[in-house]
């Protein structure tokens, strides 16, 4: 039985795609290898969001080819995902020993192509074509992998993004927005819950735009049709995304719902109200800010202002006090002045994010920002990165400390990776809690009292609560 090893770079969507490819291969009789060294097939699921991520995967592939050709002659190596999509044949021109380049709309063809490569009926395969309905193909799960995946699962609800932020390569790697149907998604969630999953994270590049394109298309079709009875019944203030949340919420046995990544423009009152209305929707939100300067937000084509962003945070905190709010920020976007950067610092002070992921701007091919004037020198990007990181970490640490002495509900995922005597779970606001637990705790919702904090971890004591 041939074995496969998949190494994943980048975001949770990539993790999910890798899981679906692995599940597909397992269903065809492949084994999952523990490491690349003894695998018959090694796939790198790539990320293109910054140059560094691309370089890492390319270096890894160079390395693999060096060792594979020496120690394991028949080994098949391939790129899949975002970089495979945006570079295609170019990757083979650069690294002629690569056997497979599989784009983001072709994950479901992985097993078939690998069979052909292993059998020697084809020597090299590049497939990065668009494929209708590919958004509905990320469906299979491998719940017997790690302990965590049997408690908490990711479900892909849509593919692509039409926002075209000027810095971002995603519309070119993931294509136009395409959403699965609510029925299809709910069926997958139900099946997962039937297999013991208690928490589901709905995934997409811009989940708050879920179903918008399809809704527009349906409207247009209805308007075009004569005597259409649909029109009068179609006006709804609830966005398709919130309709999906409602439908998933209704699944018996599911305890928690999360989603990522949203866009700030998607936080209408319907979504804010959903937080107050749906008890399974966890009070945590990862809302990418990118910059605190209105001038930059405009250049980035983000479609909101600083004030609008602050308004969203205020409404969410009013609906759910204690909601965990995290964000993404880019420093050194072209034209960013010291003044613009200080606007970002001041917004972070004002919002007090629970955590923020900071990215140094990285020019991406074919994106408008890469051609913009006033590219910020590397040293200034570095310096701003450090200053913002200091501020964000200081705020995050202070917020962590406020948990000491509090009782929180956690969903227990399984043993901690570092220390198997410790078990790990997450609060509803998405913080990791470690405690002395055992296998019987896995998959349980339990209350613990927070005793102390570590770096980005809370330490809890279940006994204190149970007394």
Question: How far, in Å, CA of 173 to CA of 103, rounded?
Answer: 8
311 versus 363: smaller Cβ distance to ligand 5AD: 363
117 versus 168: smaller Cβ distance to ligand 5AD: 168
CA distances from 39 to 6, 64, 76, 214 (A): 10, 11, 9, 42
Question: How far, in Å, CA of 275 to CA of 245, rounded?
Answer: 10
We find the least distance from the C-beta atom of residue 110 to ligand 5AD, in angstroms, to be: 24
We find the least distance from the C-beta atom of residue 365 to ligand 5AD, in angstroms, to be: 10
What does the radius of gyration of the chain's CA atoms come to, in whole angstroms?
23
3-state SS of the chain: helix, strand, coil percent to 5? 45, 20, 35
Point out which residues bind ligand 5AD (CB under 6 A).
49-50, 167-168, 288, 290, 328, 330, 359, 361-362, 364
118 versus 370: smaller Cβ distance to ligand 5AD: 370
108 versus 381: smaller Cβ distance to ligand 5AD: 381
Task: From 287, 10, 336, select the one nearest 167 (Cα to Cα).
Answer: 336
- Tokens representing 12 are 């949770």
Question: How far, in Å, CA of 410 to CA of 9, rounded?
Answer: 28
173 versus 442: smaller Cβ distance to ligand 5AD: 173
Question: How far, in Å, CA of 313 to CA of 67, rounded?
Answer: 50
125 versus 312: smaller Cβ distance to ligand 5AD: 312
CA distances from 157 to 108, 259, 266 (A): 16, 10, 16
Neighbours of 405 (CB within 10 A): 10
We find the least distance from the C-beta atom of residue 8 to ligand 5AD, in angstroms, to be: 15
CA distances from 215 to 177, 234, 278, 433, 460 (A): 12, 9, 23, 40, 45
142 versus 207: smaller Cβ distance to ligand 5AD: 207
Would you give the distance in Å from CA 349 to the centre of its chain? Answer: 26
288 versus 425: smaller Cβ distance to ligand 5AD: 288
387 versus 452: smaller Cβ distance to ligand 5AD: 387
We find the least distance from the C-beta atom of residue 353 to ligand 5AD, in angstroms, to be: 13
Instruction: Output b/e per residue, 17-45; b: 16+ Cβ within 10 A.
Output: bbbbbbbbbbeeebebbeebeebbbbbbb
We find the least distance from the C-beta atom of residue 298 to ligand 5AD, in angstroms, to be: 16
We find the least distance from the C-beta atom of residue 309 to ligand 5AD, in angstroms, to be: 14
We find the least distance from the C-beta atom of residue 229 to ligand 5AD, in angstroms, to be: 42
Q: CB-based burial of residue 311 (10 Å sphere; 0-12 exposed, 13-18 middle, 19+ buried)?
A: middle
We find the least distance from the C-beta atom of residue 170 to ligand 5AD, in angstroms, to be: 7
Q: What is the dihedral of CA 195, 201, 203, 209, to 10 degrees?
A: 120
We find the least distance from the C-beta atom of residue 255 to ligand 5AD, in angstroms, to be: 28
């Amino acid at each position: 039985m041939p074995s496969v090893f998949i190494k994943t770079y980048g975001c949770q969507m990539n993790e999910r795609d890798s899981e679906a490819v692995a599940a597909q291969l397992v269903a065809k009789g492949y084994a999952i290898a523990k490491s690349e060294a003894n695998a018959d097939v090694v796939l790198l699921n790539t990320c293109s969001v910054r140059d560094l991520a691309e370089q890492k995967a390319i270096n890894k592939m160079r390395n693999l080819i060096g060792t594979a050709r020496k120690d394991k002659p028949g080994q098949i190596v391939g790129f899949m995902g975002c970089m495979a999509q945006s570079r295609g044949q170019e990757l083979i021109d650069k690294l002629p020993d690569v056997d497979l380049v599989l784009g983001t709309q072709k994950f479901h063809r992985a097993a078939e192509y690998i069979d052909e490569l292993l059998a020697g009926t084809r020597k090299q395969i590049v497939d990065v074509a668009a494929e209708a309905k590919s958004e509905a193909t990320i469906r299979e799960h491998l719940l017997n992998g790690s302990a965590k995946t049997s408690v908490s699962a990711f479900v892909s609800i849509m593919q692509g993004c039409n926002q075209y932020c000027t810095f971002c390569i995603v519309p070119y790697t993931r294509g136009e927005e395409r959403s699965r149907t609510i029925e299809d998604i709910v069926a997958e969630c139900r099946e997962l819950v039937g297999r013991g999953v208690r928490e589901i994270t709905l995934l997409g590049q811009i989940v708050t735009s879920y179903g918008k394109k399809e809704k527009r298309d349906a409207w247009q079709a209805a308007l075009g049709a004569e005597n259409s009875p649909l029109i009068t019944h179609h006006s709804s203030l609830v966005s398709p995304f919130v309709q999906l949340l409602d439908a998933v919420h209704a699944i018996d046995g599911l305890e928690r719902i999360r989603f990522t990544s949203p866009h700030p423009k998607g936080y209408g009152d319907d979504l804010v109200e959903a937080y107050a209305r749906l008890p399974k929707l966890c009070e945590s939100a990862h809302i990418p800010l990118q910059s605190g300067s209105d001038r930059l937000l405009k250049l980035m084509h983000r479609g909101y202002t600083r004030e609008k962003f602050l308004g969203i945070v205020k409404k969410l905190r009013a609906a759910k006090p204690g909601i965990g709010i995290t964000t993404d920020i880019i420093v050194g976007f072209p034209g960013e002045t010291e003044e613009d950067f200080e606007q970002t610092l001041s917004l972070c002070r004002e919002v007090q994010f629970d955590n923020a992921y900071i990215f140094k701007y990285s020019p991406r091919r074919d994106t408008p920002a890469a051609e913009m004037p006033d590219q910020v020198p590397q040293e200034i990007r570095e310096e701003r990165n450090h200053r913002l990181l200091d501020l964000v970490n200081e705020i995050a640490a202070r917020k962590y400390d406020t948990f000491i002495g509090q009782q929180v509900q956690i969903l227990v995922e399984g043993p901690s990776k570092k220390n198997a005597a410790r078990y790990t779970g997450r609060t509803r606001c998405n913080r990791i809690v470690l405690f002395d637990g055992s296998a019987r705790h896995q998959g349980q919702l339990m209350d613990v009292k927070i005793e102390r904090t570590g770096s980005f971890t809370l330490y809890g004591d279940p006994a204190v609560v149970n007394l």
